């Protein structure tokens, strides 16, 4: 039994799962490895594969300093298989098998369901790398470029994590699924990624920050729910992934904060008080707050679709089977079986949005989405605090959950951002006041001029307060000169 | 009351579009459009109401659109072709409703294959999205199945792993008999909830072709045109299936040519069919008559009456067929059907009669045909004599004698599900009796001759007739309805098995058994627990 807190860096694939002794899985992963590197080179960050980037790499999975910073060319990044340490005597925390010892092998009856969960989660990881692959060329600073690449390599590692589980526990089917994860392509007509939001383009840096704030937060919720799994290897994998996911959200939250900061500074300097003087504000080369709100509306609503149908048999089955819990299941006080409780679900009934109590087991997607909305709302407070102290009369808010939805209860109706139902005509007439228009997007794109001098930042975004790993302000995070 | 009459202006779940020889039949189920309360028809799942529209569309495509040579079946919803029968509907439906639902949907599936096989109207299933359970069973009725290769869309029969029941519309039998899927692969396919996609679906013959999304629309059109080129369908002017003239009262259902009189106390319905009055003289006249042409009008009315009795009158256990009219006129109608059998419309009418008589065979009711004076059981209409569990002919009344007539159509036009004509089925193992009967074509047969040649069960004279008929009906009404259904279904179909008899006999019998068992419908059974997330508790005993 290998010591699961120590990472073996000797082989091709860094790991703390004893890959050296597990010849079958090691062979499968080593067979998969060249395909992954090919994928990374053709679909990973475009134009920057040969430059050393200041990246962190995990060196231990314990709570004490698991990250090490250093310069590495991305294709040489040490993607590894890292699981959080095993918890002695862990039991299944919820569902019909609650209290039984956590599974170390896949139970036969749940094999297909579990594989599907892994594939859907796994598919999102390379998808976001693909969505973001052109962003390097328009990075507003080397600092931001480095953050982008850090996010990218960690999404790549998350793919490794899922592929390890598929190859170790799911036999030939698992290997085929692992190969397919490299074959699908975000936004490709013939081989799209599985979930809609992961086939959308990420055309600019504002979209990137919004994506990492809103959509990676869905990833955090999903990982949080899978980290509770009765299938222990999945639980341990996701627990470790969560520590990385936190950085992605930091990139989004601090990125938007810096955009807001720059905008209000520029407004002040120009003597503009009214945030709706959009043309004057844009003339300053910064992003006006109403446009930021529209971008938030868009990314929030697209992300809500990732939670699936509010009332879901699949989610009920996954919970009852002990495969996927609720977000922070271990912090919830109830019977953890939910066979007789109810949960309120927002539904669309005869042209009205109403609350309806449904059996809680079937409302787990709704529950996770509710938890997400609370979490996202918390994230907004930093932006709004900044706006308040700056004296600009504007607050960023989340739109109503029924707004701009394509999946779930509200997919057939249009509403405004307050949740008032709109006719088709009213929607068409007003949607560009709530979602970015073509002109809005063109304006944002026009700002996306690369800045590559160390310590310099594009005019639409403020510098960060601290450098990565406490590096000084003019640190060269990506070495394009050497 | 469940009404089987509809038309495209009233469809809630299907859309028909026409482009020359190609028709597109798009399934776009309205979730709020369920036939009953208590369930939503999500993800293109269906209930009887959805299938009634499908059956109507299939029928109208055949009669109203002779120019259509290929029908493309597709979905109006993204990512889903059809999710099959609605599970919550099945969970709450009575056993009788489930059985009749499955029977009707099976008949509709066979009507699609009948159009493909016999009308030159070929079906193409363009599956873009998942086709699960009844959704795949619908696709598999088509001649050719295309599956989009978007790495998501799959075909599946998840009934067993997901619901602990069986595919109920012929899926299992069509896998082995129609698609020729190897049995061990079929076993894997039917126990894998997520189904099969991409290249494996082709390799296992579950579909005929997978097509990438970028080539999808062009390939669908190309395949539809290829199928159309191989069609022998040649009509131009369709015949409009005008609304049936129907009156329903407490104890009767009346159409112009078919009258149903209900005797609830006796649990018996008498169905009286009026023979033709004025027939056209030639093919042009047949076309000009359109839906009013007697064989077509009678078949549509009888079909509707049978379906009405099945779903809305479950306690009526005995159907007594009678007829009234001039047998020479019925024979004249048969002559038209025989003489012009190569005409597309006449072909359709013959095929419709075939399907309606099969519907008679599939009635879970005792069938008694009474051939009295003034009746016109001749040729096609005599099929109701041979479909009956017992037939009784009136012997006597010298100046107004009951007669029976055979036409060539009794020997060729209306095969049963087992592929035999009703006479060949009746005389299974007696080929010489069948030959003798063929020699009687065109003769006016009296009761004694009919009885002597085995064409009726009994011939009774006026002394015995009333009492014997009464006794037969009363005795029949006293038996167990379940046992009678089983007995009749066994005895009606002699001899060989076909895909059709296997589907109706074997699959539905097993399915109907499973539908009764606690593992499916008990309080802790799969259908009751479906969607709750709670696993069913199975009784582990193998029976």
Output the pLDDT for position A155.
94
Output the pLDDT for position A143.
97
CB of A316 within 8 Å of a chain B CB? The answer is yes
Within a domain: A476: no
Q: How far does B193 lie from chain A, in Å, by closest CA? A: 8
pLDDT at A63 over 70: no
pLDDT at A58 over 90: no
Output the pLDDT for position A1.
44
Percent of chain A with pLDDT strictly greater than 90 = 79
Helix (H, G, I), strand (E, B) or coil at A61: coil
pLDDT at A371 over 50: yes
Q: What is the pLDDT of residues B131-164, one digit of tens each?
A: 999 999 999 999 999 999 988 899 999 999 989 9
Helices (H), A132-189: 142-169, 171-183
Q: Point out the residue among B193, B194, B213 whose CB comes nearest to the CB of A190.
A: B213
Q: Point out the residue among B161, B212, B531 whose CB comes nearest to the CB of A316.
A: B531
CB A358 within 8 A of CB A345: yes
pLDDT at B16 over 70: yes
State the CATH number of the domain containing residue A410: 1.10.620.20
Identify from A176, A179, A189 which residue to disrupt to test chain B contact, counting B C-beta atoms within 10 A and taking the largest count: A189
CB B253 within 8 A of CB B308: yes
The 3 state secondary structure assigned to B345-373 is: HHHHHHHHHHHHHHHHHCCCCEEEEEECC
Q: Which residues of A touch B43 (CB under 8 A)?
A: none
Q: Are strands A67-73 and A52-58 parallel, antiparallel or unpaired?
A: antiparallel
pTM: 0.87
CA distance to B462, B471, B473, per residue, from B466 (Å): 7, 9, 11
Q: Which residues of A touch B132 (CB under 8 A)?
A: none
pLDDT band at residue A66, thresholds of 50, 70 and 90?
low
CB B362 within 8 A of CB B392: no
**B355 exposure class (CB count in 10 Å sphere: 0-12, 13-18, 19+):** middle
Give me the half-sphere count of Cα atoms (radius 13 Å) on the Cβ side of residue B390.
Answer: 11
Positive or negative, the CA dihedral B413, B419, B422, B428 is: positive
| Dihedral angle over CA of A81, A83, A89, A94, nearest 10 | -110
Q: Which residues of B touch A184 (CB under 8 A)?
A: 151
Q: Point out the residue among A189, A339, A359 whose CB comes nearest to the CB of B214.
A: A189
Helix (H, G, I), strand (E, B) or coil at B500: helix
CA-only gyration radius of chain B, Å: 24
Output the pLDDT for position A80.
87
| Interface contact flag, A313 B149, Cβ < 8 Å | no
Across the range A219-248, mean pLDDT stands at 93
Token output for B539: 């009784």
- Report residue B269: phi and psi, to 5°: -120, 135
Output the pLDDT for position B507.
74
Mean pLDDT of chain B: 95
Q: What is the pLDDT of residues A271-310, one digit of tens each?
A: 999 999 999 999 999 999 999 999 999 999 999 999 999 9
Cα angle value A153/A156/A157 (rounded, 5°): 90
DSSP string, B233-296: ----S----PPP--EEETTEEE-SSEEEEEETTTTEEEEEEEPPSS--SSHHHHHHHGGGSHHH
3-state helix, strand, coil in chain A (%, to 5): 50, 10, 40
Q: How far does A351 lie from chain B, in Å, by closest CA? A: 13
Contacts for A336-343: CB closer than 8 Å, 24+ residues apart:
A336/A93, A336/A94, A336/A95, A336/A98, A337/A94, A337/A95, A337/A96, A337/A98, A338/B533, A339/B532, A339/B534, A343/A367
Token output for B415: 């095969």
Mean pLDDT of chain A: 92
Which class does domain B247-487 fall in?
alpha beta
Q: Are strands A421-422 and A67-73 parallel, antiparallel or unpaired?
A: unpaired
A268: left (phi over 0), alpha (psi -120 to 50) or beta: alpha
Token output for A85: 């340490």
Examine domains B8-229 and B247-487 and report if their fold is the same: yes
Output the pLDDT for position A64.
57
Q: Point out the residue among A116, A313, A315 whose CB comes nearest to the CB of B194.
A: A116
Across the range A23-32, mean pLDDT stands at 90
Cα angle value B293/B295/B296 (rounded, 5°): 65
CATH classification code of B8-229: 3.90.226.10
Within a domain: A28: yes
* Token pair 């799911």 in the structure block, residue: A170
The residue in chain A having the minimum alpha-carbon distance to the alpha carbon of residue B194 is A112
The residue in chain A having the minimum alpha-carbon distance to the alpha carbon of residue B192 is A112
| Interface contact flag, B152 A190, Cβ < 8 Å | no
Q: Which DSSP letter does residue A201 get?
A: -
Domain residue extents for chain B:
8-229, 247-487
Q: Which DSSP letter does residue A213 get?
A: I
CB of B533 within 8 Å of a chain A CB? The answer is yes
Q: What is the pLDDT of residues A90-132, one digit of tens each?
A: 999 999 999 999 999 999 989 989 999 999 999 999 999 999 9
pLDDT at A14 over 90: no
Domain that holds residue A34: 19-470
Within a domain: A163: yes
Q: How far does B478 lie from chain A, in Å, by closest CA? A: 46
pLDDT at B71 over 90: yes
| Interface contact flag, B150 A190, Cβ < 8 Å | yes
Q: Which residues of B touch A182 (CB under 8 A)?
A: none
pLDDT band at residue A59, thresholds of 50, 70 and 90?
confident
Output the pLDDT for position A243.
83
* Token pair 């589907």 in the structure block, residue: B503
How many folded domains does chain A comprise? 1
Q: What is the pLDDT of residues B338-382, one digit of tens each?
A: 999 999 999 999 999 999 999 999 999 999 999 999 999 999 999
Give me the half-sphere count of Cα atoms (radius 13 Å) on the Cβ side of residue B498.
Answer: 11
| Interface contact flag, A362 B531, Cβ < 8 Å | yes
Q: Which residues of B touch A116 (CB under 8 A)?
A: 194
pLDDT at B173 over 50: yes
Q: What is the pLDDT of residues A453-479, one digit of tens each?
A: 999 999 999 999 999 988 998 999 999
A345: left (phi over 0), alpha (psi -120 to 50) or beta: beta
Output the pLDDT for position A57.
84
Within a domain: A176: yes
Output the pLDDT for position A8.
76
Token output for A43: 């679909």
pLDDT band at residue B50, thresholds of 50, 70 and 90?
very high
Within a domain: A35: yes
Q: How far does B168 lie from chain A, in Å, by closest CA? A: 21
Q: What is the pLDDT of residues B86-111, one digit of tens each?
A: 998 988 899 899 999 999 999 999 99
Across the range A68-84, mean pLDDT stands at 90
Sheet of B70-75: strands edge to edge?
Answer: B14-19, B22-27, B70-75, B122-127, B144-148, B209-211
Output the pLDDT for position A482.
54
Q: Point out the residue among B151, B192, B530 whose CB comes nearest to the CB of A191.
A: B151
Within a domain: A2: no
Q: What is the pLDDT of residues B468-516, one digit of tens each?
A: 999 999 999 999 999 999 999 999 999 999 999 999 987 778 888 898 8
């Amino acid at each position: 039994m290998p010591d699961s807190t120590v990472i073996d860096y000797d082989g091709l694939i860094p790991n703390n799962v004893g890959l050296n002794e597990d010849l079958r899985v090691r062979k499968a992963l080593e067979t998969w490895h060249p395909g992954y590197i090919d994928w990374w080179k053709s679909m990973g960050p475009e134009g920057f594969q040969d430059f050393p980037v200041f990246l962190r790499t995990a060196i231990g999975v314990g709570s004490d300093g698991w990250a090490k910073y250093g310069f590495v060319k991305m294709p040489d990044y040490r993607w590894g298989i890292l699981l959080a340490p095993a918890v002695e005597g862990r039991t299944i925390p919820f569902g019909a098998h609650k209290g039984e010892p956590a599974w170390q092998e896949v139970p036969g009856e749940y094999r297909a369901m579990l594989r599907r969960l892994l594939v859907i989660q796994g598919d999102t990881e390379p998808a976001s790398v693909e969505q973001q692959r052109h962003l390097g060329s328009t990075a507003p600073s080397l600092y931001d470029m480095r953050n982008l690449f850090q996010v990218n390599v960690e999404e790549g590692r998350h793919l490794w994590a899922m592929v390890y589980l598929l190859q170790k526990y799911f036999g030939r089917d698992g290997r085929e699924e692992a190969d397919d994860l490299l074959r699908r392509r975000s936004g490709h007509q013939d081989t799209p990624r599985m979930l809609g939001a992961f086939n959308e383009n990420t055309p600019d840096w504002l979209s990137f920050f919004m994506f990492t704030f809103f959509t990676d937060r869905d990833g955090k919720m999903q990982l949080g729910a899978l980290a509770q799994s009765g299938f222990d290897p999945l639980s341990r994998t996701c627990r470790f992934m969560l520590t990385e996911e936190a950085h992605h959200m930091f990139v989004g939250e601090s990125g938007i904060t810096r955009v807001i900061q720059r905008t209000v500074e520029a407004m002040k300097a120009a003597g503009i008080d009214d945030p709706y003087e959009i043309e004057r504000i844009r003339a300053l080369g910064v992003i006006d707050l109403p446009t930021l709100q529209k971008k938030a509306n868009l990314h929030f609503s697209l992300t809500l679709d990732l939670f699936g149908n509010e009332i879901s048999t699949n989610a009920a089955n996954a919970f009852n089977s002990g495969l996927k819990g609720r977000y922070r299941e271990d912090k919830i006080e109830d019977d953890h079986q939910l066979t007789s409780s109810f949960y309120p679900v927002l539904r669309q009934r005869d042209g009205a949005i109403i609350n309806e109590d449904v059996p809680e087991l079937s409302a787990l997607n709704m529950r996770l989405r509710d938890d997400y909305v609370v979490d996202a709302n918390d994230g907004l407070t930093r932006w709004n605090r900044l706006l308040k102290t700056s004296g600009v009369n504007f607050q960023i808010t989340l739109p109503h959950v029924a707004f701009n939805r394509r999946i779930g209860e509200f997919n057939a109706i249009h509403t405004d951002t307050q949740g008032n139902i709109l006719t088709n005509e009213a929607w068409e007439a007003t949607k560009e006041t709530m979602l970015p228009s073509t002109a809005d997007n063109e304006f944002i794109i026009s700002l996306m001029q690369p800045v590559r001098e160390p310590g310099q930042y594009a005019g639409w975004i403020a510098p960060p307060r601290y450098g990565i790993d406490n590096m000084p302000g003019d640190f060269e995070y990506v070495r394009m000169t050497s | 009351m469940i009404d089987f009459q509809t038309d495209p202006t009233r469809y809630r779940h299907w859309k028909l579009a026409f482009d020359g020889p190609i028709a597109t039949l798009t399934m776009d189920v309205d979730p709020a459009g369920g036939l009953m309360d208590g369930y939503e028809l999500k993800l293109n799942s269906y209930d009887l109401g959805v299938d009634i529209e499908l059956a109507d569309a299939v029928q109208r495509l055949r009669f109203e659109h002779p120019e259509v040579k290929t029908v493309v079946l597709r979905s109006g919803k993204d990512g889903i072709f059809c999710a099959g029968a609605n599970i919550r509907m099945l969970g709450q439906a009575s056993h009788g409703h489930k059985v009749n639902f499955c029977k009707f949907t099976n008949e509709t599936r066979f009507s699609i294959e009948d159009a493909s096989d016999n009308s030159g109207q070929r079906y193409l299933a363009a599956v873009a999205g998942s086709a699960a359970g009844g959704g795949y069973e619908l696709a598999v009725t088509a001649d050719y199945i295309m599956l989009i290769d978007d790495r998501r869309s799959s075909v599946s029969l998840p009934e067993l792993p997901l619901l602990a029941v069986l595919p109920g519309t012929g899926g299992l039998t069509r896998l082995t008999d129609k698609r020729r899927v190897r049995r061990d692969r079929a076993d894997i396919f039917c126990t894998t909830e997520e189904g099969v996609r991409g290249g494996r679906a082709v390799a296992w013959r579950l579909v005929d072709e997978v097509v990438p999304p970028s080539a999808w629309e062009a390939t669908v059109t190309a395949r539809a045109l290829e199928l159309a080129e191989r069609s022998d369908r040649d009509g131009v002017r369709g015949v409009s299936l005008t609304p049936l003239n129907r009156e329903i009262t407490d104890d009767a259902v009346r159409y112009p040519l078919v009258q149903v009189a209900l005797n609830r106390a006796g649990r018996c319905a008498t169905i009286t069919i009026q023979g033709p009055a004025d027939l056209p003289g030639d093919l042009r006249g047949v076309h000009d008559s359109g839906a009013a042409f007697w064989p077509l009008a009678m078949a549509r009315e009888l079909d509707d009456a049978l379906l009405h009795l099945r779903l809305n009158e479950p306690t009526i256990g005995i159907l007594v067929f009678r007829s009234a009219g001039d047998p020479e006129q019925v024979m004249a109608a048969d002559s038209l059907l025989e003489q012009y059998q190569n005409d597309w419309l006449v072909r359709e009418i013959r095929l419709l009669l075939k399907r309606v008589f099969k519907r008679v065979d599939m009635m879970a009711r005792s069938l008694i045909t009474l051939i009295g004076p003034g009746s016109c059981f001749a040729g096609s209409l005599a099929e109701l004599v041979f479909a009956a569990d017992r037939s009784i002919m009136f012997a006597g009344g010298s100046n107004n004698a009951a007669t029976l007539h055979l036409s060539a159509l009794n020997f060729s036009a209306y095969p049963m599900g087992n592929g035999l004509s009703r006479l060949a089925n009746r005389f299974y193992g007696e080929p010489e009796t069948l030959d003798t009967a063929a020699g009687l074509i065109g003769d006016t047969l009296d009761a004694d001759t009919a009885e002597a040649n085995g064409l009726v069960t009994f011939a009774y004279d006026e002394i015995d007739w009333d009492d014997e008929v009464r006794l037969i009906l009363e005795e029949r009404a006293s038996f167990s309805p379940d046992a009678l259904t089983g007995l009749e279904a066994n005895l009606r179909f002699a001899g060989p098995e076909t895909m059709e008899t296997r589907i109706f006999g074997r699959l539905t019998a097993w399915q109907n058994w499973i539908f009764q068992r606690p593992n499916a419908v008990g309080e802790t059974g799969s259908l009751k627990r479906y969607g709750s997330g709670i696993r069913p508790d199975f009784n582990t005993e193998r029976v």
